[in-house]
Each structure stands twice: as structure tokens, then as C-alpha cells.
Amino acid sequence: MTDFFDALEARDPATREAALMAALPAQIAHAQASSPAYTALLADVDAAAITSRAALARLPLTRKSSLAAAQAARRALRLGGYAAGMPRRIFQSPGPLYEPEPDAVGADPWRIARALHAAGIRAGQLAHVGFSYHLTPAGAMMEAGLHTLGAASFPGGVGNTELQLQALQDLQPEAYAGTPSLLRILLERALEAGQALSLRRALVSGEACPPALVAWFAERGVDAFQCYATADLGLIAYQTEAREGLVVDEGVIVEIVRPGTGEPLPDGEVGEVVVTTLSPGYPLIRFATGDLSAVLPGASPCGRSNQRLRGWLGRADQSAKVRGMFVHAGQVAEVLARCGQRGRARLVVDGELANDRMCLRVEARADEGLAERLQAALRDVTKLRGEVELVAPGSLPNDGRVIEDRRPVE
């Protein structure tokens, strides 16, 4: 597979960046004018001035918890005031959190066709969709992308394994789009029954799919690719035949920020994935996903020239309960900011029941009085006493973890 979904994938990176930054002011202005929530949140922002990543980084983050809180508090405003106009469909995620179809115009509102194409799925093929079609949008997301490609879909959904196996035997689909766990179950059941399945390509999402599982699929004749997508944002990044990270979608702007802050990190540093979407119906600006990843340097060997993410590396919304009080990653960031520190830090919690201890390890060069200032700030911000240890720059792991709870699990 060497062909691209469209010419956008092979653009000169500078041309792509210029196009994204040129589109950004209009999207900010659209959000201000069409989304009551952003009218308030970005009231003092001059949209015309947001023409660079540095300018974008000065805007506040929007978190999923903010969406849920707004929906609960402002029921008179549909979807908490974050949607721009009336969506075609509204879905529900656990919480509950209600999410609109992000684009009321396009045939592929979540932009999934690009990932399906990279997985080798083509027009004229049939794909067995193993995502739910009930309440949540995952099934609809995949189906819209398949139809955009000119492929057909069988809405298998989840559960009813025997019926799904019968459909796989009767219809002989070439492709699968769904969770990796269901694909494994279907392949295992088919093998147990002595049946050969026709599946050759798969786009999997919604769960972790480690290399060992990808290899397991390959041994059974299925070439599986992953994509990173959410109901709020649509496609964020997708795997290609190079299998070196995930290539960022053409319709989003991705930042990696230090957990607990909105501060962008350099390429290679693990941090929270923050996405600004250019979708008109749900114009999320600097949406903090809560997921950890990092930008891979360089270009993909497949020829696609956009940023690449390392993949899912954990959760950024870290916390620990110490002596009856919750400590969050954002509080650690505030402690560092009060003392002018911008390097890596890790709050280590250990000890036993009723004897919790915490130590803030900070990458910093020796500075008289810095440890004492950090210790005072830690006590002021968290209302808890803790130790501070200054360590050499580069000595803490580059894994995005800000809070490490070492206490034994009961």
C-alpha cells in the first residue's frame, strides 16, 4: 500500500502548518459566535490574532469534565452550550456525557475514512463493524467512513457472537472495523469450529492493541491497524503500513502539554494530548483528552508527512489520596510554577495506612533555598506536608507520570 487517501497526506509540512494556522482564526471566531460556552470562555480573545501555535497555547484548555459539568448545570443550553447549532444526531457516553455528531454537513463527520484507507480497506469491499450502534457513536463513526470510501458495512455491533460468526461465514467480508477484543473472540471461535474466515484487513480502536496482539492477528491472516479517535473529536491519528507511531489526521491541530498545565512540550517529551478540531458543528478548542503520548521526531517512512504520535502511553489525569485528601497533577504544576520551575517533576507517595509519606522530586540545578521554597509551596497548595528532593536534569523518566503511588494495594 503506497497510495494515499488524498494529496493532503503528502504535503510539505510547512505548507500544512501554514494552512492550519490560516484556518485557526476563523475557527476561533466561529466558536465565539456560534457556541455560547466559547462566547463566554473566549470573551477577551482576539480571534484574528490566533495565527500560531504559541498564540493558541495561551488559550485555556477545555476538559471533558467541563463539558459534563456544563451539560448538568445548563440544561437549557443544548449540550451545555458547546455545540454550534443543532447537530444531526446526539450520542451518549458514560457519565452521562452527550456528544453531537461533529459536522452537520460532511458525509464522514468524524473523518474516519482516512484511517480505514490507510488500513487497506477499499471501495467495493464489505467490512464487518464490531462497534456498538446503541447510544454511543463508534459504530456510526466507522460506518460513515466506510461509506465515504465506497465500501459496504455489516452492522454487527457487540455481543451475539454466534450470529456474528454466521454472518461472517455467509457474507464473507474482506475487512473488520471494531474493537481488537471482539476480533480476537471471533477468530478464536471460528478456529474452534474449524471455520476459515475471509477477513484480511482490520481497523481496530477503543482498546489497547499491543504489538503481540497485532502479531497474533497476522498469524491468522488478518493485517490489523490501529486508530486513535474519540466521539468528541473524531479521528486524531492513525496507523499506516510503516507501523512507526500514529500519523496525525489532517483536520486537527495536536499539542502535547505538560500534565496538569496547558504548557506545550518539545517533541519527544511525554505529555497530555490536546486537540483543536476544525469541525464546524463541535468546535472544540484546546480539548484536553486526558491521554498521554509524545510526538515522534522525523517523517514516517510511508511518505505521509504529518506529525506522528507514539500511541497511547497512559492517562494524564493522575491523582492520589494522601492522608484523606486528594492530590492532583495540576497541583504539582502549580507548586512548580510558584517557584519558577518548568522541568520534569514527580510526586512519589509511599508508606502504609495512616502513615503516608510524599516526596516531590524535581529536576533542577542546585539553587540555594529552592528546596525550601518548593516544600513551602507544596504545603500551601496541597495542605499536606511533604519532602522535596532536587535531582539532576534528565534523571526522571520521560513517561508523563507526575504522581507515582508506591503504596501497597490491599
Confidence of residue 354 (pLDDT cuts 50, 70, 90): low
pLDDT at residue 112 above 50?
yes
Distance CA 217, CA 211 (A): 10
User: Which pLDDT score, from 0 to 100, does residue 2 have?
Assistant: 55
Question: Average pLDDT in the 308-321 region?
Answer: 87
Q: Are 175 and 126 in contact (CB under 8 A)?
A: yes
Question: Average pLDDT in the 198-215 region?
Answer: 94
Question: Average pLDDT in the 51-80 region?
Answer: 91
Confidence of residue 409 (pLDDT cuts 50, 70, 90): low
386, three cell numbers: 511533604
Confidence of residue 104 (pLDDT cuts 50, 70, 90): low
pLDDT at residue 146 above 80?
yes
For residue 378, which of 370, 389, 387, 366 has the smallest C-alpha distance? Answer: 387
Top-confidence residue, 305 or 410:
305
HEC-encoded secondary structure of the chain: CCCCCCHHHHCCHHHHHHHHHHHHHHHHHHHHHHCHHHHHHCCCCCHHHCCCHHHHCCCCCEEHHHHHHHHHHCCCCHHHHCCCCCCCCEEEECCCEEEECCCCCCCCCCCCHHHHHHCCCCCCCEEEEECCCCCCCHHHHHHHHHHHHCCEEEECCCCCHHHHHHHHHHHCCCEEEECHHHHHHHHHHHHHCCCCCCCCEEEECCCCCCHHHHHHHHHCCCEEEEEEEECCCEEEEECCCCCCCEEECCCEEEEEECCCCCCECCCCCCEEEEEEECCCCCCCCCEEEEEEECEECCCCCCCCCCCEECCCCCECCCEEEECCEEEEHHHHHHHHHHCCCCCCEEEEEEEECCEEEEEEEEECCCCCCHHHHHHHHHHHHHCCCCEEEEECCCCCCCCCCCEEECCCCC
pLDDT at residue 240 above 90?
yes
User: Which pLDDT score, from 0 to 100, does residue 126 have?
Assistant: 98
18, three cell numbers: 501554514
Lowest mean pLDDT among 66-70, 99-103, 324-328, 331-335: 324-328
pLDDT at residue 317 above 90?
no
* Crossing angle for the helix pair 161-171 and 180-192, to the nearest 10 degrees: 80
Report the relative pairing of strands 345-352 and 355-363 from DSSP bridges: antiparallel
In degrees, rounded to 5, the angle at the alpha carbon of residue 247 between the alpha carbons of residues 287 and 402 is 50
Q: 369: phi > 0 → left, psi -120 to 50 → alpha, else beta; which?
A: left
Question: Average pLDDT in the 298-326 region?
Answer: 88
Please state, for a pLDDT cut of 90, what percent of the chain lies above it: 76
Question: Average pLDDT in the 23-47 region?
Answer: 96
User: Which pLDDT score, from 0 to 100, does residue 93 have?
Assistant: 87
Sheet holding 345-352, edge to edge: 387-391, 355-363, 345-352, 403-405
Question: Average pLDDT in the 182-192 region?
Answer: 94
Entry pTM: 0.86
pLDDT at residue 308 above 70?
yes
User: Which pLDDT score, from 0 to 100, does residue 292 have?
Assistant: 93
User: Which pLDDT score, from 0 to 100, does residue 1 have?
Assistant: 45
